[in-house]
A and B are shown apart, each in its own frame.
Chain A
Amino acid sequence: MSIFIEAGIRVIVAFVFLLITVLLLVWVERKFVSDLQNRVGPDRAGPWGILQTLADGLKSFMKESIRPSNAEMALFIAAPIVALLTALLIFLVIPIGAPIEINGTLYPLVAMDLNIGLLYILAISSIAVYAITFAGWASGSKYPLIGSVRSAAQMISYEAAMGLALVPVVIFAGSTSIATIVEQQGGTFFGFIPAWNIVLVPSFVIFLIAGFAETNRPPFDLVEAEQEIVGGYHTEYSGFLFALFFLAEYIAVFNISALTATLFFGGWNGPVFGPTWLTYLLPIFWFLLKTWAFVLFFVWVRASLPRMRYDQLMSFGWKKLIPVALAWIILVAIAIGVRDFGMPWS
Chain B
Amino acid sequence: MAETIVFIIFAAVALVGAIAIVAAKNPVYSAIGLLSTMFSIAVMYVLLDAHFVAIVQVIVYAGAVMTLFLFVIMLIGVDKPDAYGPAVPAQRIMTAVVSVGLFASIALAGRAAWVTGSDAFGTPNLNGTIENVSDELFGTWTVVFLATVMLLTIAAVGTIALAYFGHEVEDEEAVL
By a beta-carbon cutoff of 8 Å, the part of chain A in contact with chain B is 72, 75, 114-116, 119-120, 122-123, 126-127, 129-130, 133, 136-137, 145, 148-149, 152-153, 156, 159, 176, 311, 314-315
Question: Separation in Å of the A70 CB from the closest CB of chain B?
Answer: 11
Task: Determine if B62 and A127 form an interchain contact, defined as CB atoms under 8 angstroms apart.
Answer: yes
Bound-state Cα–Cα, A120 to B56, Å: 9
List chain B residues, Cβ under 8 A from A176. Answer: 130
List chain A residues, Cβ under 8 A from B173. Answer: 311
Given contacts A127-B58, A145-B78, contact A152 B176 (CB under 8 A): no
Which one of B58, B62, B71, B129 lies within 8 Å of A115 (CB-CB)?
Answer: B129
Given contacts A127-B62, A130-B67, A314-B176, contact A116 B52 (CB under 8 A): yes
Q: Bin the interface of chain B by size.
A: 20 to 34
Which one of A72, A115, A123, A133 lies within 8 Å of B59 (CB-CB)?
Answer: A123
Task: Determine if A153 and B55 form an interchain contact, defined as CB atoms under 8 angstroms apart.
Answer: no
State whether the Cβ of B127 lies closer than 8 Å to any Cβ in chain A.
Answer: yes
Q: Which of B34-53 contact A (CB under 8 A)?
A: 35, 51-52
Task: Determine if B127 and A115 form an interchain contact, defined as CB atoms under 8 angstroms apart.
Answer: yes
Given contacts A116-B51, A126-B58, contact A149 B71 (CB under 8 A): yes
Given contacts A115-B129, A311-B176, A315-B176, contact A120 B55 (CB under 8 A): yes
List chain B residues, Cβ under 8 A from A148. Answer: 74
Task: Determine if A123 and B74 form an interchain contact, defined as CB atoms under 8 angstroms apart.
Answer: no
Q: Which residue of B lies closest to A160 (CB)?
A: B64
List chain A residues, Cβ under 8 A from B129. Answer: 115-116
Bound-state Cα–Cα, A136 to B28, Å: 12
List chain A residues, Cβ under 8 A from B74. Answer: 133, 136-137, 145, 148-149
Bound-state Cα–Cα, A122 to B56, Å: 10
Task: Determine if A119 and B55 form an interchain contact, defined as CB atoms under 8 angstroms apart.
Answer: yes
Known: A115-B130, A129-B63, A133-B70. 16 other contacts (CB 8 A): A115-B127, A116-B52, A116-B129, A119-B59, A126-B58, A127-B62, A130-B67, A130-B70, A136-B74, A137-B70, A137-B74, A137-B78, A145-B78, A152-B67, A152-B70, A156-B67
State whether the Cβ of B115 lies closer than 8 Å to any Cβ in chain A.
Answer: no
Task: Determine if A116 and B130 form an interchain contact, defined as CB atoms under 8 angstroms apart.
Answer: yes
Task: Determine if B67 and A126 form an interchain contact, defined as CB atoms under 8 angstroms apart.
Answer: yes
State whether the Cβ of B113 lies closer than 8 Å to any Cβ in chain A.
Answer: no
Which one of B28, B52, B63, B68 lies within 8 Å of A127 (CB-CB)?
Answer: B63
List chain A residues, Cβ under 8 A from B130. Answer: 115-116, 176
Given contacts A115-B130, A116-B129, A314-B176, contact A126 B63 (CB under 8 A): yes
Bound-state Cα–Cα, A72 to B56, Å: 31
Given contacts A115-B129, A145-B78, A315-B176, contact A123 B71 (CB under 8 A): no
Task: Determine if A126 and B51 form an interchain contact, defined as CB atoms under 8 angstroms apart.
Answer: no
State whether the Cβ of B75 lies closer than 8 Å to any Cβ in chain A.
Answer: yes
Per-position contact with A for B149-168: 1 when CB-CB < 8 Å, else 0?
00000000000000000000
Question: Separation in Å of the B153 CB from the closest CB of chain A?
Answer: 13
Given contacts A126-B63, A137-B28, A137-B74, contact A116 B55 (CB under 8 A): yes
List chain A residues, Cβ under 8 A from B78. Answer: 137, 145
List chain A residues, Cβ under 8 A from B51. Answer: 114-116
List chain A residues, Cβ under 8 A from B127. Answer: 115
Bound-state Cα–Cα, A130 to B64, Å: 11
Which of B51, B126, B173 has the most chain A CB atoms inside 10 A of its CB? Answer: B51
Bound-state Cα–Cα, A119 to B52, Å: 9
Question: Separation in Å of the A90 CB from the closest CB of chain B?
Answer: 13
Question: Separation in Å of the B50 CB from the closest CB of chain A?
Answer: 11
Task: Determine if B75 and A149 form an interchain contact, defined as CB atoms under 8 angstroms apart.
Answer: yes
Q: Which of B51-97 contact A (CB under 8 A)?
A: 51-52, 55-56, 58-59, 62-64, 67-68, 70-71, 74-75, 78
Which of B71, B78, B173 has the most chain A CB atoms inside 10 A of its CB? Answer: B71
Bound-state Cα–Cα, A114 to B54, Å: 13
Question: Separation in Å of the B64 CB from the closest CB of chain A?
Answer: 7
Task: Determine if A129 and B67 form an interchain contact, defined as CB atoms under 8 angstroms apart.
Answer: yes
